[in-house]
Structure 1
Amino acid sequence: MYAAVLVFVRVAGVRSFAEMSAFDVAIMVAIGSTIATTIVAKTPSLMAGGFALLLLYGFQLVVSRWRSLKAPVESAVDNRPIRLMGEGGRMLAENMRVARVTEDDLRRIVRGANVVDYTTIQAVIMEGPGSVNVLHGHGEALAESAWGLKNVRDYSA
């Protein structure tokens, strides 16, 4: 089983480990579950588990290729990021409601990013796979047209 995973990872490339989209996370969970079930349970057989891995890695390879070529596939497979906080640490209540994030969640996230002065926060973004990034600057305003904010949902505008 280990050898099969190594071969599939070499063929699929480093993207097979990336959690860049919700689809990637779902595939990684399915792959992990398949490996665990194949190793621990009597069924499926080692051959069936290997075939299931082949299908999962193949599916990931095909979908990642389609994502890069066709925007409708990307929008169907990926969750778009959402802005939770704006400039100066301003909480975006409607966005937080849509993302089901509380003020306490945001405080924990901001503390985790080692932000002492919340007024230095330019944006807090919840990414498609669920990770959260805190953008804090050095007193410079973040341009709304910033490249890093492209395709970020903001319902507060």
Structure 2
Amino acid sequence: MDWIYQSDDPILATIIGSFLLFVAIIIITRLIGLRSFAKFTAYDFAFTIAIGSIISATLTSSTTIVHGVTAIAALLILTFIFSFLQRVMPIIKKVTSNKPLLLMDKEEILNENLKHARIEKAQLIAKLREANVMSFDQVEAVVLESTGDISVLHRSDDEDHLHQDLLEGVRKTP
């Protein structure tokens, strides 16, 4: 029954290691940026990678099932705690999540923001084409979302106007 549980399993070390791995992945993702991980926040990416790694180690090494389940449980509890802390302490959310970034303000391409986000002008233009923008004067705003997606807000006629609440929380400078 050694494959289920070994009396010398380092359960506390697993919990601490899970926490350190989770935090390290968030820090690295925040430093590198999210464009490589579209649809994920740094928080989501860290959790997904950590769980995948634990499952892989549990299934392919001498790690016991109890050890792997303990590590996964520690990460799940950690995500629950982080979710709660993000709601009650805005600084935690600021540290673990990216804020959306404005890439175009009306017709103006914000080159400094593109550079900061590591997005080429050609990628921006491709997103405008995907959104059926026929001319720059139709563009109200282009936003790099916290998930890494690019949103194009444009008008189809001169009567449409952008409601400013749609840009709430969007950084205008890097």
TM bucket normalised to smaller: 0.7 to 0.9
Q: Which residue of 2 aligns with 1:82?
A: 101
Distance in 1, matches of 2:109 and 2:144, equals 13
Distance 1:114 1:45 in 2: 54
User: Structure 1 regions of 5+ residues with no counterpart?
Assistant: 1-18
Alignment of 1:42-121 (within 5 A): 42-88=61-107, 90-121=108-139
Q: CA RMSD in A?
A: 2.2
Matched, 1:33 2:53: yes
Task: Confirm or deny: 8 A CA contact 1:83 1:95 kept in the other structure.
Answer: yes
SS across alignment from 1:133:
strand
Could you say which residue in structure 1 is the equivalent of 2:15?
none
Please say which of residues 66-75 and 134-143 is displaced more in the overlay: 134-143
Rounded Cα–Cα distance in structure 2 between residues aligned with 1:29 and 1:131: 20
- Aligned-pair CA distance for 1:106: 0.8
Deviations 1:45-75 (A, max 9, x none): 2221111111111111111111111111111
Q: Does 1:23 align with 2:43?
A: yes
TM-score by length of 2: 0.67
Q: Do 2:104 and 2:143's aligned partners in 1 also have CA atoms closer than 8 Å?
A: yes
Alpha-carbon deviations, 1:64-122, whole Å to 9, x = none? 1111111111111111110111213x211111111121101212222333434443222
Alpha-carbon distance, 1:20 to partner: 6.3
The count of residues paired between Structure 1 and Structure 2 equals 134
Tell me by how many angstroms 1:136 deviates: 1.9
Is contact 2:106-2:136 (8 Å) kept?
A: no
What TM-score, normalized to structure 1?
Answer: 0.73
Alignment identity in percent?
28
**Greater than 4 Å deviation, 4+ residue runs:** none
Cα distance between partner residues in 2 of 1:116 and 1:80: 28
| Larger radius of gyration between Structure 1 and Structure 2 | 2
1:153 Cα deviation from its structure 2 partner: 0.9
